[in-house]
């Protein structure tokens, strides 16, 4: 993308009305726009980052047999009344609205009820199971406090997968497969070393659920980490009884603050029973389907990655999620410009995403913007690099600069 085609602008200073560092930087760099507390628009560069995160999650969910769908965010009241979750005391984050005729509707905070009802049209016999539909969708939650930027939105993106299984053993095997897929996702996003699979409260069908907690100074959760096994225990289940059961000692655990980036949950027949999602087993007997739900927050991850890797100059994106791999700075006109144009085209043709700073701006402004936007590599083409036959190659994360010929540059990037 040429920066002369990009409508967003960077700004010199961080916004005054934003306390979270992730949102400050993302707004300053022109990745997102703040509508109100907890509600953000994704601008072209921000949309690319979000899409890159979503793509990593999609590949891993497809890899374990997921079927991607897209459910409506407008929800009918009745399945929620049936499950007992329409009540504002039970589900305290509801946004509700009404049709013109007065019929009440909810704006999706999550999708267990509608998807359980939907699956009644597709699941009848043991032959129809197991199945794993999932989606990327905007969720609405009227969060009491929303001061963590993208990490706690009132409108945010979620990947939610629901599993429908015949037996507990079939459910357990899939639950483990999701757990492994989640660890691969955090690894691929550059967060592997900070991620702990964490025991958390489980509801009525399992003693525990599992959260995927990412250690961060701005985390809202408190966990107790057991480094040798890379597991952790959420403070909500941190009791002597649980420690004994998990075979760990208090003195071997280290308290940390962390961000919940994902959650996997055994639902059992919590929704299938009241909503009547049944199947006929091999003996011809009607049974309730065994369910699980599996969430990840792509927008929370975007805020977390922004916050985690940033330095005093701005954002620092890992290559997998960066809006482009290369920031190409043009300093000059005429032949220099022709050289930069041809490099831009060759890199694009090789499938490398490039942000081409072809603007009529001072070099200092171009360099500062490349730092603020956090693009992994910067390549400068100027009269000086023309004369030497070597571009200036700069690595955002390490700050190292080296001269490279075009062939050396291509060898490095392709
Ligand atoms: P929290 O305890 O932080 O409120 P939760 O338990 O309500 O999270 P889930 O209902 O399990 O979260 O949602 C699944 C995933 O969606 C979470 O693991 C998180 O990554 C993401 N998520 C939840 N709430 C928000 C939010 N308000 N803004 C952004 N992402 C969110
Ligand atoms: Mg919540």
Cβ proximity of 262 and 211 under 8 Å:
yes
CA 298 to centroid of ligand 2, rounded, Å: 15
**Is residue 290 included in any domain, yes or no?**
yes
**Which residue range(s) make up the domain with 271?**
3-309
> For residue 204, is pLDDT > 90?
no
Residues with CB under 6 A from ligand 1: 110, 141, 143, 152-153, 156, 158, 260-263, 295-297, 299-300
Residues 366 and 303 in one domain: no
> For residue 255, is pLDDT > 90?
yes
What are φ and ψ of residue 300, in 5° steps?
-65, -40
**Is residue 362 included in any domain, yes or no?**
yes
Average pLDDT over residues 228-235: 96
Cβ proximity of 375 and 317 under 8 Å:
yes
Look at residues 167, 169, 173 and name the one whose alpha carbon lies nearest to residue 287. Answer: 167
H-assigned helices in 260-355: 272-275, 298-309, 335-349
pLDDT tens-digit series, residues 101-137: 999 999 999 999 999 999 999 999 999 999 999 999 9
Q: Which two tokens stand for residue 174?
A: 């899939």
Question: Strand pairing partners for 297?
Answer: none
Residues 272 and 367 in one domain: no
Cβ proximity of 274 and 282 under 8 Å:
no
Average pLDDT over residues 240-249: 96
**Is residue 318 included in any domain, yes or no?**
no
Residues 193 and 253 in one domain: yes
DSSP class of residue 234 equals E
> For residue 209, is pLDDT > 90?
yes
User: Tell me, what CATH number does 382's domain have?
Assistant: 3.40.50.800
pLDDT tens-digit series, residues 339-386: 999 999 999 999 999 999 999 999 999 999 999 999 999 999 999 999
Query: Which residue has the CA at smallest separation from atom 1 of ligand 1?
Result: 260
Would you tell me how many other CB atoms lie within 10 Å of the CB of residue 115? 24
Identify which ligand lies nearest to the alpha carbon of 152: 1
* Tally of domains in the chain: 2
Look at residues 197, 74, 190, 90 and name the one whose alpha carbon lies nearest to residue 137. Answer: 74
Q: Which two tokens stand for residue 117?
A: 């009802």
* pTM for the model: 0.97
Question: How many Å apart are CA 28 and CA 385, to the nearest integer?
Answer: 31
CA 92 to chain centre: 24
Residues 397 and 261 in one domain: no
pLDDT tens-digit series, residues 303-341: 999 999 999 999 999 999 999 999 999 999 999 999 999
CA 282 to centroid of ligand 2, rounded, Å: 39
**Is residue 321 included in any domain, yes or no?**
no
Radius of gyration for the chain, computed over Cα atoms and rounded to the nearest angstrom: 25
Identify which ligand lies nearest to the alpha carbon of 220: 1
DSSP class of residue 289 equals P
The pLDDT assigned to 114 comes to 98
Average pLDDT over residues 1-30: 96
User: Tell me, what CATH number does 226's domain have?
Assistant: 3.30.930.10
pLDDT tens-digit series, residues 50-109: 999 999 999 999 999 999 999 999 999 999 999 999 999 999 999 999 999 999 999 999
């Amino acid at each position: 993308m040429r920066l002369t085609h990009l409508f967003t602008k960077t700004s010199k200073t961080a916004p005054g009305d934003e306390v979270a560092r992730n949102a400050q930087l993302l707004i300053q760099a022109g990745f997102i726009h703040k509508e109100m507390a907890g509600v953000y628009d994704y601008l072209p560069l921000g949309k690319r980052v979000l899409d890159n995160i979503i793509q990593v999650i999609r590949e891993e969910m497809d890899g374990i047999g997921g079927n991607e769908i897209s459910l409506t965010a407008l929800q009918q009241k009745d399945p929620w009344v049936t499950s007992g979750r329409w009540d504002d005391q039970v589900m305290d984050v509801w946004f509700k609205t009404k049709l013109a005729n007065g019929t009440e509707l909810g704006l999706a905070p999550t999708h267990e009820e509608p998807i359980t009802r939907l699956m009644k049209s597709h699941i009848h016999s043991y032959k129809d199971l197991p199945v794993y539909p999932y989606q990327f969708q905007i969720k609405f939650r009227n969060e009491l406090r929303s001061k963590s930027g993208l990490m706690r939105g009132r409108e945010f993106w979620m990947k939610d997968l629901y599993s429908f299984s015949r037996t507990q053993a079939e459910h357990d095997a899939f639950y483990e497969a999701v757990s492994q897929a989640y660890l691969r996702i955090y690894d691929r996003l550059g967060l592997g070393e900070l991620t702990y699979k964490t025991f958390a409260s489980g509801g009525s069908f399992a003693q525990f659920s599992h959260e995927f907690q990412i250690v961060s100074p701005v985390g809202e959760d408190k966990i107790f980490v057991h480094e040798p096994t890379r597991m952790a225990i959420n403070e909500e289940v941190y009791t002597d009884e649980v420690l004994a059961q998990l075979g760990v000692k208090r003195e071997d655990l280290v308290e940390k603050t962390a961000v919940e980036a994902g959650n996997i949950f055994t639902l059992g027949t919590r929704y299938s029973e009241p909503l009547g999602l049944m199947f006929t087993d091999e003996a011809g007997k009607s049974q309730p389907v065994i369910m699980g739900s599996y969430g990840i927050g792509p927008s929370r991850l975007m805020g977390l990655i922004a916050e985690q890797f940033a330095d005093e100059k701005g954002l620092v994106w890992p290559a997998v999620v960066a809006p482009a791999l290369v920031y190409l700075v043009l300093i000059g006109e005429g032949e220099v410009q022709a050289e930069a144009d041809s490099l831009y085209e060759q890199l694009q043709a090789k499938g490398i995403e490039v942000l081409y700073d072809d603007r009529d701006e001072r070099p200092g402004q171009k360099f500062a913007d490349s730092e603020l936007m956090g693009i992994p590599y910067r390549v400068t083409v100027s009269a000086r690099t023309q004369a030497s036959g070597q571009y200036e190659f700069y690595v955002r994360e390490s700050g190292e600069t080296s001269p490279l010929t075009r062939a050396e540059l291509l060898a490095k990037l392709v």
